[in-house]
Structure 1
Amino acid sequence: MNEIRYNFLKDTWVVVSADRARRPHEYNISIYEESTDLSKCPFEYGNEDKTPPEIFAIRPDGSPPNTPGWKVRVFPNKYPALKIENPSIREGEFIFEKIGGFGAHEVIVETPDHFKHTQDFEDEDFINMFIAFKHRISALYKDLRIKYVHVFKNHGKEAGKSIVHSHSQLIALPIIPKLQKTMILQSKKYFYEKERCYLCDEIKIEKNLKIRTIYENDNFIAYCPYASLFPFEIKIAPKFHSHDFTNISDLQLKDLADVLKFSVRKLNKTLINPSFNLILYTSPPIRKSIIDEEIYKGLDLHFHWHIEILPRITTLAGFELGTDYYINPTPPEDAAKYLMEVI
């Protein structure tokens, strides 16, 4: 039976269409063509001169910046959406509003191996990736003009990946995006009604029901959310309450790497290497601000950071773009079942 389910955190609705129900093999997954000409890849080991100077790197042997010897490199995007040197002044023009193109746009290359993709990562690769995320988010928030750092990974052509070599990106913004504001305010609304964190309650329910959970360890859980916007969507969240990803400990990083590795490999085997977006939703830094006072108040109590993996195996069409609602042709209960069955 078809249902219209409410996605509380994002304050939107999802049509879970059982009448259109699709099994994994019924999705048309395009094969990503691998480039073998490594000399042209700007992210390749030994091609450090083809990128802007690095901002951060993990170099176990203490090698100098912008040379080989790295495990992870971070540098400004060569074609940035926003630049730190641009003005951040907000202006009005008749009824229109604009802000100077201030911000930051960085690339995180998680591995020197051109042919190693997310589904091939071991725990160490994910740990190093998260260390880079943590370091760069913390560093960028020292600039008080930056209100939110959005970290994401595009895997595959349909997800927007333009360079084959595995990498993530971050964009630092002078405003808190609408979706993040919605999630924060929805969490706050729930907290002041129930005196509990919404995501803590959601995790408790998923642990008890066990119909959408695909994996958990001591510190983290992975499950297909009740109102998944995308088929085979996976949410990964800490089982302990935490609003800020940058507070994660070394032990917790190991458990996060474990659950992400399991989830990505299950997804890869079930759908045969689908494109997906991996998005980190974490708290903005808590600051005193008249403009955003409602956002910051109690943020550490009600917001709960998490990661979403959004497979890009369906197309957003007129319904989604015209309503901001979604149609999901694979119920999350079925998606979890398929993910768990694959060996």
Structure 2
Amino acid sequence: MSEIRYNFLKDTYTIISVERSKRPHDFTISIYEEETTDISKCPFEYGNEDKTPPEIFSIRPDGSPPNTPGWLVRVFPNKYPALRIENQPIYEGYHMFDKIGGFGAHEVIVETPDHFKHTQDFEEKDFINMFIAFRERIKSLYQDLRIKYVHVFKNHGKEAGKSLVHSHSQLIALPIIPKQQLTMIKQTKKYYQQKGRCYLCDEIKTEINLAERVVYENEDFVSYCPYASLYPFEVKIAPKFHSHDFTTITDEKLKTLADVLKFTVRKLHKTLINPPFNMILHTAPPYREDYIDKTIYEHLDKHFHWHIDILPRITTLAGFELGTDYYINPTMPEEAARFLREVV
């Protein structure tokens, strides 16, 4: 029997359609990409640093100079940015319509110099370096008070929006807080006002106690298929300790975060045969005196809880989802978690 489950954090509904129930082998999308192209032309390769804009952050154990080989992680502005730091966030009206100048930042984070190393091949040290780049670039961008939110994401596979084979993530800094982040802030604030507790702290404790949707956990982090998963085999990774701001994470905690992400990604890879997915970091925005609604910052450190969503793109959003903002998920989250737990 189908169920309509409420996703509190995102304030939307998911139809868990048992009649359409699918097992891992029913999802036929696979992204084993052709690696026959001439990698010497890839702008992310060693020796091709001049084919990208100048780097703004890198991890270089050998102390090599910027824009040369020797890096483990390299960050630079997107060559074709959605937003530019040189623009001004000027609010304007055009007849009855509103617009903001195209201010912001759009950066590329190349997590490995190895063209053939993909997310499922990463070791813990690779994920640690990736997270260090995320943390340091967010902290740096937030020094610009015009930036209200930095959105960090990774597209894995062409169907998930990846345009180049070489593994990389992206971040986009915005002069506004996106609607989804605002919704999560308002929802967790409502829960905190009603119960005096963090919503995600309670959700994590519940999932660990029930154990039916947990995929993997260690002493600091847990990955699980959310109760009202919007996508089949959707996974959430969250710290067991309360923390609202990803930029405060210590290097020690990055090790256990990398451990959970490594095992979770590999389980998805083996269960669904290398599925395309989007990985999204959700963290609290910094306080801004000029933000139009300053109430969103009230008790933000107490009720918001940063987390990572991994959203496999193995079904297509169609007229129902696009027309209602509700979702149809053909796989029970409990079944998805069981498949992921059992794969070795």
What's the TM-score, normalizing by structure 2? 0.99
Aligned to 2:22: 22
Aligned-partner Cα distance in 2 for 1:228–1:63: 45
Residue 219 of structure 2 corresponds to 218
Residue equivalent to 1:194: 195
Paired position in structure 1 for 2:106 = 105
1:219-271 C-alpha deviation (Å, 9 max, x unpaired): 10000000000000000000000000000011110000000000000000000
Unmatched 5+ stretches in structure 2: none
Write out aligned runs for 1:237-248 (5 A): 237-248=238-249
Deviations 1:73-132 (A, max 9, x none): 000000000000012100111210000000000000000000000000000000000000
Which portions of structure 1, spanning 4 or more consecutive aligned residues, are displaced by more than 4 angstroms?
none
The corresponding residue for 1:134 is 135
**Aligned twin of 1:59:** 60
CA contact (8 A) 1:32 1:157 kept: no
- 1:174 is aligned with what amino acid? P
Which runs of 5 or more residues in structure 1 are unaligned? none
Partner residue, 2:160: 159
3-state SS, counterpart of residue 151 of structure 1: strand
Counterpart of 1:18, as a letter, is V
2:120 and 2:184 map into 1 onto residues whose CA distance is: 29
Distance 2:244 2:289 in 1: 17
Q: Please provide the CA RMSD for this pair.
A: 0.8
Cα deviation for residue 290 of structure 1 reads 5.5
**Correspondence list, 1:282-297, <5 A:** 282-289=283-290, 291-297=292-298
1:192-271 to 2 correspondence within 5 Å?
192-271=193-272
Map 1:165-180 onto structure 2 (within 5 A): 165-180=166-181
Contact 2:58–2:73 (CA under 8 A) maintained in structure 1: yes
- Aligned counterparts of 2:164 and 2:74: Cα–Cα separation in 1: 15
The alpha-carbon deviation at position 136 of structure 1 amounts to 0.3
**Structure-2 separation of matches of 1:322 and 1:32:** 32
**TM-score normalised per structure 1:** 0.99
The residue number in structure 2 matching 1:317 is 318
Alpha-carbon contact 2:30-2:273 (below 8 Å) kept: no
> What's the CA shift for 1:35?
2.9
Q: Structure 2: which amino acid aligns with 1:24?
A: P
- 1:243–1:303 Cα contact (<8 Å) kept: yes
Deviation, 1:336, is 0.3
Partner of 2:39: 38
Q: Which amino acid counterpart does residue 281 of structure 1 have in structure 2?
A: H
Identity %: 77
Aligned to 1:7: 7
Alignment check: 8 A CA contact 1:73 1:108 kept: yes
Map of 1:53-92 to 2, 5 A cutoff?
A: 53-92=54-93
Aligned length: 343
Shift in Å, 1:34: 2.7
The secondary structure found in structure 2 opposite 1:262 is helix
Secondary structure of the structure 2 residue equivalent to 1:79: coil
Instruction: Give 1:143's aligned residue.
Output: 144
Q: Secondary structure at 2:167's aligned position in 1? A: coil
**Partner deviation per Cα, 1:109-163 (whole Å, 9 max, x = no partner):** 0000000000000000000000000000000000000000000000001100010
